[in-house]
Amino acid sequence: MDIVRIFDTTLRDGEQSPGFSMNREEKLRMAHQLEDLGVDVIEAGFPIASKGDREGVRAVAAEIRGCQVAALCRARQEDVDAALDSLGPAANPRLHIFLATSDLHLKHKLRTTREEALEQIGRMVEYGKQRCPEVEFSAEDASRTDMDYLGEVLAAAVAAGATILNLPDTVGYSTPEEYAAIFVKMRERLGDSPGITWSAHCHDDLGMAVANSLAAIGAGVRQIECTINGIGERAGNASLEEIAAALSVRQARYCAGTNIHLNRIYATSRLLSTITGVTVPPNKAVVGANAFAHEAGIHQDGILKNPLTYEILPPEAVGVPARRLVLGKHSGRNALRARLEELGYITTAEELEQCYRAAMVRADEAKQVNDRDLLTIIHQVRRGQPQSVTATSATAN
């Protein structure tokens, strides 16, 4: 089984999204959690951006020893110098140089020519390689770059010393089939040198970042750039937790795994939410509040009989404390009985039926029936007063 290296860019690309900025102490706290999670590379920031970012990258580089620390820079000498300076204390540094390569970016953003960009890439990768043992090159907007020119760019980067080649789908434009085909073409163009690692960096503008990343793995990519909770520019990046979980569940399909400790994913997600003050949507895969919650009676019945009927991995596998059988208007009697038993009440068939009818009335009023409601219901039923349950519950809440 191959190992797919996880390049976490929560502290760089993730932090660039509105509302997710982190100070030095917050970056350090998150970096230690990412190290414990088992990521292979932490991209700690973009040092040229600000003094605070330089200090944040330097602090992470000084303290993290269990994985690589990377710093991003444009293909400009002042950028490279700032990144190298920030990486000074790192035990295992990586310089990450990028330049846009699509004609759209070259003409309208950089206002340069293909030839000038090609020369700039080779010169800056060579310059960085002289002072850092490992250099990654990213062809920004690779998915919209002319394939012949992209091949020239990558060949120049390799000749100058780059050993990791990243082909970002910068604006989330590509589809899985298209994105995989790019890697197939570029690998054919450059050959499969054992010293070169191919990397994917996908954005979620069309909701395909994870699908594109998995397609890239199928095409031979062995590094994925992603973020916790999928945070990042615009609609975000590929979600680390979804990719790691997918490779765990579908290991036979991809013949690849990661070094991620799955049971630490939930804690890492929650820490990021605590630091940024931004919670994940309830329906977020793997770490959302509803990822392991079940309300439909048919689903609850299946879960009670065998969790595999409606869960492809157990909640504990990703660090979620327990699944939830949510009692609402779609719930069934088996889930109600199970929850009452957990609360210490063994019911007869008649008691269960009365409790169920009262719970459904409550669910129509309040959307969910909580434990306080259930205690009120079972007490009223056992006193022979089921008709007063709704009013009592409403008052209690």
For range 166-189, the mean pLDDT:
98
pLDDT in tens, 67-115: 999 999 999 999 999 999 999 999 999 999 999 999 999 999 999 999 9
Contact call for residues 344 and 379 (beta carbons, < 8 A): no
CATH number of 2-276: 3.20.20.70
pLDDT class for 368, splitting at 50, 70, 90? confident
Contact call for residues 315 and 287 (beta carbons, < 8 A): no
Greater model confidence, 364 or 77: 77
14-40 burial, b for 16+ CB within 10 Å, e for fewer? bbbbeebebeeebbbbbbbbbbebbbb
* The residue to which tokens 């295992």 are assigned: 92
Write phi, then psi, for 167 (nearest 5 degrees): -115, 85
Rounded Cα distance, 390 and 386, in Å: 8
pLDDT higher than 80, residue 118: yes
Could you tell me the two tokens for 111? 């206002």
State in Å, rounded, how far the first CA of the chain is from the last one. 54
pLDDT in tens, 227-241: 999 999 999 999 999
SS3 content of the chain, % helix, strand, coil (to 5): 55, 15, 30
Helix 389-396 crosses helix 371-382 at what angle (to 10 degrees)?
A: 150
Helix 240-249 crosses helix 209-218 at what angle (to 10 degrees)?
A: 50
Winning range, highest mean pLDDT, from 57-71, 312-326, 373-387: 57-71
Domain boundaries, the chain: 2-276, 297-396
pLDDT in tens, 192-227: 888 999 999 999 999 999 999 999 999 999 999 999
Residue-level pLDDT at 366? 86
166-203 burial, b for 16+ CB within 10 Å, e for fewer? bbbbbbbbbebeebbebbeebbeebeeeeebbbbbbbb
pLDDT in tens, 1-54: 899 999 999 999 999 888 898 999 999 999 999 999 999 999 999 999 999 999
DSSP character at residue 234: T
Could you tell me the two tokens for 124? 């800056």
Rounded Cα distance, 290 and 310, in Å: 13
Q: Which residues pair with 356 in a beta bridge?
A: none
Closest CA to 349 of 338, 359, 339, 337: 337
Residue-level pLDDT at 386? 54
